[in-house]
């Protein structure tokens, strides 16, 4: 049962890594022809890259809850709270 959570977290990380790479690579290629499209794709890729660690915490949290592992669900929730607090505190004023 421990293996299931590993699998889900692995899938989320894999999807985030490949997805952000695809967006960034497409953006770099598009930049040569249409810079506006290219920069949009690169930004989307960066957002996905930055969001992936958070998504994998959420995936672990849901998986621990489903397994009834309350202790580690709580640990995941704690990590999520710290990371989300840091990201909210980091949002520049006026943007």
Partner 1 sequence: MTLLLVALGAMAGGVGALVGIGGGIVITPVLAMYFGLPMHHAIGTSLLAVITTSTATSSVYLERHVTDVRLGMTLELATTVGAAAAAVIAGYLDRRALAVMFILLLVYSAGSLVRRAWKGRNEQPQAEIPAYQVRRYGLGLGASLVAGGFSGLLGSGGGPIKVPVMYLFMGVPLRVATATSNFMIGVTAATSAYIYYGRGDVNLAAAAPLVAGVFLGSITGARLAPRVRSSYVLFLLIGVTLFLAFQMAMKLAEGKLG
Site for partner 1 contains 30 (CB under 8 A): no
Site for partner 1 contains 40 (CB under 8 A): no
> Distance between CA 57 and CA 83 in Å, rounded?
10
Site for partner 1 contains 33 (CB under 8 A): no
Choice from 30, 40, 44, 54 touching partner 1 (CB under 8 A) = 54
| Residues 24/41, Cβ–Cβ less than 8 Å | yes
Choice from 1, 33, 36, 89 touching partner 1 (CB under 8 A) = 89
> Distance between CA 52 and CA 10 in Å, rounded?
11
Site for partner 1 contains 78 (CB under 8 A): yes
- Nearest distance, CB of residue 82 and partner 1, angstroms: 4
Site for partner 1 contains 35 (CB under 8 A): no
> Distance between CA 86 and CA 72 in Å, rounded?
21
DSSP 38: H
């Amino acid at each position: 049962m421990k293996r299931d959570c590993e699998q889900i977290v692995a899938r989320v990380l894999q999807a985030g890594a490949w997805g952000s790479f695809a967006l960034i690579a497409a953006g770099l290629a598009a930049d040569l022809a249409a810079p506006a499209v290219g920069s949009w794709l690169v930004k989307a890729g960066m957002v996905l890259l930055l969001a992936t660690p958070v998504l994998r915490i959420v995936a672990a949290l849901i998986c621990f809850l489903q397994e009834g592992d309350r202790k580690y669900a709580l640990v995941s929730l704690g990590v999520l709270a710290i990371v989300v607090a840091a990201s909210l505190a980091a949002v520049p004023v006026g943007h």
